[in-house]
Structures are given as C-alpha cells and as structure tokens.
A and B are shown apart, each in its own frame.
Chain A
Amino acid sequence: MSPVLIAVLILSAIGLVCALVLVLASKFMAVPVDEKFPAIRACLPGANCGACGYAGCDGYANALAAGEEEKTNKCIAGGQEVAKAVAETMGLAFEAVVEVNAFVHCRGDCLNTQKRTEFQGARSCAAAKLLFGSDGACHYGCIGYGDCASVCPENAINIINGIAHINDIRCMGCGACARTCPQGIIEVLPKEFEVAVSCSNHDRGPAVKKACAVGCIACTLCAKKCPAGAITMVNNLPEIDHDKCTGCGTCASVCPQKVILFGNKV
C-alpha cells in the first residue's frame, strides 16, 4: 500500500476512534440534570457571590429545585426582580428581598490613628494580622491592606487614607468582604438602619484614646441617654437593638468621640 494511503487511513482511523470514544463517553457518562433546575437557574444572575449562603448560583438553584430551600428572596445580588422571577417559576408567593449594604465598623484612618510597627510582609490584611495582631496602634481596627477590596465583585471598596471605604451605591450586599475581613469588622446591614457604631475596639478609656482619636472609650453615655433604651454596652462597645431604635439620633449627638453615626453612614 502506498505510504500516502496508509497515512490517510491511520489518521482517519485515529480521528474516528477518538470521536467514537467521546460520543460514547458523553452518552454513558452524562450527568443527569433535574428538570426544574435549568428554569430556576436561568432566573438567577450568575454572580456566584455566595450571599444566599450557598456555593454559587448553581448551589442555590439546586437547593430550590430539590425542595430543601423555601425562601425565594435569598438572592441579594439579584434583588427584587430575581426574587419575583424565582417565586413565579416555583409557584410560590413573592417575598421582598431585604436590601443590605456592607458597613465597616471602623473610622480609624491615618488622620485618627497611627501604625505601631513597620510591616514588611505580603500586602494582605490576613498576613499582617498573623504578626502580633496587625501593625496598627489599635488591635481591633481596619488594617487597610485591602483583602476586602480584592474580593469585592463590584469594586465597591476603596482603601482611602488607610482604611476601607464602601461605596454604598455599588455595594450589592453579597457579604464577600465580611467573610474575608480577618478582623471581622465588616458587617452586612439592612439599608433601612439609620444608626451604626463605627468602632470595634473592646478596650476602654485612656487605652483607646492612645490608640485612636475616634475610638469608643466605653463612657456609656449613649446607653444612658437613649430614650428608647435600645443601647446596651457589650464588651465595652454599644450594641443597638434595632427593633427598639426610633431613629432619634440622641446617641450620635451625645457621643464625645463621634463613634455613633446617624443618617448618612460614612
């Protein structure tokens, strides 16, 4: 047989064998897909942010399709439209999504506090925290190397003057930053809350003042003056009961350190 013929035959044979193997594999090793799953999954935005508590949009859609999950308003990134679509697809009543934003419980930037040591390691908050609990004068506050900014899918976080600032318009409330922050000082709060505490320092008095100019010194004035009795001091920090809070703003006006923020959050 001429070499050209052999070459063509063998090449075609190998190609055919490969194709056959792949076709058989895709038929016999196909992973069965639930019927409802594609319809529900199509409603979800596909951001895979994890705010719903599941591992990505596939996870949430799977849970809904399998009947393990009943709440249709868990997709925060998608908002009300997605909640409506999911509720329609599943034939359930529509429940509004609670609109949330992330909030950083710290206002200690370069102007208010200072660094204790010069950190020369990898530029990461988690790395800095491993070394004697961060390089700032305050052990509890924002370290400012941007671990939160790098995981934010919406680029809503900027490091300005050494601490994280969250852009309220861009933030979609997925909570990735809250999960990443090694200090645990980012919290996802409903947009309707009007009062927030901008400090996470559990020390009191002069120690706090030494660390940061705007730290909570646990003077307990806010707790005493609140007309609704909504504030209790927990671990030297005010804890606000939002069910009782009337939004009068007294706590913010009496705080000597301007820790409690009222109205437009920073």
Chain B
Amino acid sequence: MTKVLMIAFMMVFTQNYVLVQFLAICPFLGVSQKFDSCIGMSGAVIFVMTLASAVTWLIYTYVMVPLGLDYLSTIIFILVIAALVQFVEIFLKKFIKPLYNALGVYLPLITTNCAVLAVTLLNISEKYNLLESCVDGFSAGVGFGLALILFCGVRKALERAKPPKSWAGLPITLVAAALTSMTFMGFTGIADKLFG
C-alpha cells in the first residue's frame, strides 16, 4: 500500500512528467494557452495513460515474456497505444457522447504524445505489478494535468509582462517554465520524509 502511494506521489510531484522528466513538452507549450483546452487535454491524457498502462502490462506479461519478445516492446506498445486510442474514440462517440464532446478533439493528438509511450515503457523497466502500473499511469496523467493547469495560470500572468524584445513570446514562456520546474524540485525532500 505504501508503495502504491509513493508511486502516486512521485509521479505527480517529484518525478512530474512535464516539469522534471521533460516529457510531453509539445502539448505543454501548445495547449496551455486556454484553460478549457488544458482541462480537456488533461482529462484525455489521464484516461488514455491509465488504460494504456493496463493493456500494455497485460500484453507484456502474458504474451511477450513467455515468448521471449521483450526486445519488441517499443513496436508492440506503440501499435497497441495507437489502436487503443482509436478504439476509445469510437467507443466514446457511441456510448458516452458528453465525454466525447469534451475530450474527443485531443484523443488523436495523444497517440504521438511521448508521455504515454514513456509511462508504458517505464512500468516495464521498474517491474511494477498490474495495480502499480495502473496507479503509475493514472498519477502520471494527473501530474501532467497539474503542470498544464499551473502553467496556464502562469501564462495568463505573463501576458502583462514586458520582457526585452528578443525574449517576447516563446523564450520568456520557457523561462517561466524553468522557474515553475524549479518549484517542483522542492518536493524531493518531502517524498523522503513521507515515505521513509
């Protein structure tokens, strides 16, 4: 139980996918301008990451390991993720229309989101069991959402700033991202204290 909680805490704070591990930067910079798209993107990412973690873990443990095919993990995982995202889109459109209206636009973008493939590969390399993998996927998504929403607020405040001419636009946004990620470094000490 402690391990599960620790994984969750780690993924959201100390090993935050965007602000500590440099994953999913493209959507982080691209989507964080409007608050509504932040919420939509985060929801979609959490959804896909949890599902993908579960499905890829099952395929890895019950199909690939017995047949000695773990070197094919990159190809098979990305294939499964792409098919899964497509399937989820069709499923939502038919059965959960409101959810499709909220998240549907972002689902195709998530296939090539490096964070999703990364979380599935990291589950394997950290040798988590099924529950831990799902929690890992879910928390990584939550961490991504947290970073995205925080940064949306930072960007809104940036609009009033008057940086030097060459720094206007993307460069000053990246500096703001640097400072935001510095704040997350502070969480490292908490993890050690909380979980021994």
Interface residues of A, Cβ cutoff 8 Å to B = 3, 6-7, 10-11, 14-15, 18-19, 21-22, 25-26, 29-31, 122-124
Contact = CB atoms under 8 A, between A and B. Distances in A.
B194 interface: no
B76 interface: yes
Given A10-B63, A21-B83, A25-B90, A123 B76 contact: no
Interface stretch (B4-12, B16-24, B40-48, B154-162): B154-162
A6 B67 CA distance: 8
A26 B88 CA distance: 11
A9 B99 CA distance: 37
A15 B80 CA distance: 8
B94 A18 contact: no
Given A14-B80, A21-B87, A3 B93 contact: no
Contact of B79 (A15, A21, A25, A124): A15
Nearest to A30: B94
Given A6-B69, A29-B91, A29-B95, A11 B75 contact: yes
Contact residues of B: prevailing secondary structure: helix
Contact residues of A: prevailing secondary structure: helix
Contacts of A14: 59, 63, 76, 79-80
B69 A7 contact: yes
Given A3-B68, A11-B76, A25-B90, 7 more contacts: A6-B68, A10-B64, A10-B69, A14-B63, A18-B82, A22-B86, A122-B153
Interface of B: 59, 63-64, 67-69, 72, 75-76, 79-80, 82-83, 86-87, 90-91, 93-95, 153, 156-157, 159-160
A145 B131 CA distance: 48
Contacts of A3: 68
A87 to B, nearest CB: 29
A10 B93 CA distance: 31
Contacts, number: 53
A62 to B, nearest CB: 13
20 contacts: A3-B68, A6-B67, A10-B63, A10-B67, A10-B72, A14-B63, A14-B79, A14-B80, A18-B83, A21-B83, A21-B87, A22-B83, A22-B90, A29-B90, A29-B94, A30-B94, A31-B93, A31-B94, A122-B153, A123-B156
Contacts of A22: 83, 86-87, 90
A80 B93 CA distance: 34
A3 B68 CA distance: 8
Contacts of A18: 79-80, 82-83
B26 to A, nearest CB: 23
A31 B94 CA distance: 6
B38 to A, nearest CB: 15
Contacts of A11: 72, 75-76
